[in-house]
Amino acid sequence: MIQRHDCEVERSKVGLCKCGHFFLRMSRRKNFWTESLLFFKRRSRNQVHHCHTKSLLIHASSSPCQWKQFNLFSLMVELAKLATQTIPPFNLVQSKMISKVKPILEESMKSLYCNSVPSCFKVADLGCSSGPNALQVAYDVIDAVHNISRSSSITFQIYLNDQFQNDFNNIFHSLPCFYQRLREEKGEGFGACFVNATPGSFYGRLFPTNSMHFFHSSTSLHWLSQAPKGLINKENIYFTNTSQCTVYQAYLHQFSEDFNLFLKSRAEELVHGGGMVLTFVGRDETSDIITPWGLIGLVLNDMVLESLIEEEKLESVNMPRYGPTANEVKELIDAEGCFTLQKLETLKSSWDEGLKENGNGDLALDANARANFIAKYVRATTEPFLTSRFGEGVIDELFLRFGEKVAKLLEKQKLEYTYLVMFMTKK
């Protein structure tokens, strides 16, 4: 339960839930709470104390005497600043894409369950990660199904999947707030919801035969199970416009094997008529291949020339990811034969998607700030891989140079990803 601390200023209220999230109530609506990203660490015994009607005392230290007083308005300003400063760039990018795909998710639910919804609805989010977006897809699915059925008798069984090393405990800590949100927004008559972790690679079986109703995966399937075997890709770690045909074919072959195994596994696990919504990075056949991974390859080459990295190491490294074209995906789905492709759309997303925009919809930041944002989230997704190949000592320099190259490109052109979003049903 949320512990509410009243502050009679413009009907605003403050709450601190058990999992340590700070809430502001800014409306007369009873259940309208906005969650900030101000976290109170339990081991510091942080507390919120009602001081008087216009301010709060926040205990943010293990010392009993160190309390900081906030005027409520000032507190809200500080929270807004913290929200923009502390959300990791990758999570902002991921959140934007989940929001863009939500209408397609809702449309797919309506087409699947316009007549009836299973009494126990089983859905899995494949590649859920462990950040602030880990439960957002689960909520969107529950929301869509609830809006269709309006039945209190539906039980939701949510399975969160990612690699074995994923920090599932971080997700579990946020479950009390997730369940509380469902109760408050859907009402006490809302049916039961159970959330479970299912670790393992989605390039293989994860669930019993004919046991699942729906699968979702966002920004994960462009990651391959492994880099193409035996590939000689000198002076790069990915494929570019200048790569030899053998490099492109090796990447396409690996993606085809992985995606085919993914489809076969999900076909065995889904019930007849079950569906999937998948979103992952692809590429536009008509555009030049400009990717962060290609730019990283250029930076690594520069560092080889300066003897900061051994040439042999660079020649042996290939990034285990592939952005297919829409036609390549269509052909693989048709060839596998278990699914009917109901929808396939492409969405454009700028490399700096997620940064705050000004009133005209344009980014109100210069190229260097935007490049820094891009460098941070690219580093977040690639650092473990690059560190294991080149060592920790070169990573800071690598991404400093990467940011500089991105800033120069941003001054000349618009940098965009092409995302493929598809909805398919089991035959």
The one-digit pLDDT tens for each residue of the chain (427 residues) are 333 333 333 333 344 333 333 434 333 333 333 333 333 332 233 334 333 333 444 444 344 444 444 455 555 545 444 444 444 555 676 788 888 999 999 999 999 987 778 889 999 999 998 878 889 999 999 999 888 876 667 899 999 999 999 999 999 999 999 999 998 888 877 878 999 999 999 999 999 999 999 999 999 999 999 999 888 888 789 988 888 889 999 999 999 999 999 999 999 999 999 999 999 999 988 777 889 999 999 999 999 999 999 988 888 899 999 999 999 999 999 999 999 999 999 999 889 887 764 344 455 578 898 999 899 989 988 999 999 999 999 999 999 999 999 999 999 999 999 999 999 999 9
The residue range of the domain holding 59 is: 3-86
Between vectors from CA 276 to CA 273 and to CA 277, what angle results, nearest 5°? 145
Q: Say whether both 58 and 105 belong to one domain.
A: no
User: How far separated are the first and last CA of the chain, in Å rounded?
Assistant: 44
Q: Say whether both 122 and 63 belong to one domain.
A: no
Q: Say whether both 293 and 312 belong to one domain.
A: yes
Q: Say whether both 295 and 410 belong to one domain.
A: yes
Q: Say whether both 112 and 141 belong to one domain.
A: yes
Q: Say whether both 315 and 401 belong to one domain.
A: yes
Q: Say whether both 223 and 248 belong to one domain.
A: yes
Q: Say whether both 137 and 160 belong to one domain.
A: yes
What span, in angstroms and rounded, lies between the C-alpha atoms of 299 and 15? 48
Residue 202 has, within 13 A of its CA and on its CB side, a CA count of: 25
Answer left, alpha or beta for residue 150, where phi above 0 means left and psi between -120 and 50 means alpha. Answer: left
Last residue of a domain, one of 86, 109, 138: 86
**How many separate domains does the chain show?**
2
What span, in angstroms and rounded, lies between the C-alpha atoms of 354 and 357? 8
What span, in angstroms and rounded, lies between the C-alpha atoms of 75 and 12? 12
Q: Say whether both 115 and 38 belong to one domain.
A: no
| pTM for this predicted structure | 0.77
In degrees and rounded to multiples of 5, residue 148 shows phi and psi of -75, -45
Between vectors from CA 76 to CA 361 and to CA 85, what angle results, nearest 5°? 55
Last residue of a domain, one of 27, 53, 86: 86
What span, in angstroms and rounded, lies between the C-alpha atoms of 303 and 212? 49
Give the pLDDT score at 157.
Answer: 96
Q: Say whether both 321 and 202 belong to one domain.
A: yes
Query: Which residues have a Cβ under 8 Å from the Cβ of 78 and sit 6 or more positions away?
Result: 70
Q: Say whether both 138 and 153 belong to one domain.
A: yes
Give the pLDDT score at 202.
Answer: 97
Q: Say whether both 151 and 66 belong to one domain.
A: no
Annotate 65-110 with three-state secondary structure: CCEEEEEHHHHHHHHHHHHHHHCCHHHHHHHHHHHHHHHHHHHHHH
Last residue of a domain, one of 39, 71, 86: 86
Domain CATH number, residue 414: 3.40.50.150
Residue 358 CB-density burial (10 A; 0-12 exposed, 13-18 middle, 19+ buried): exposed
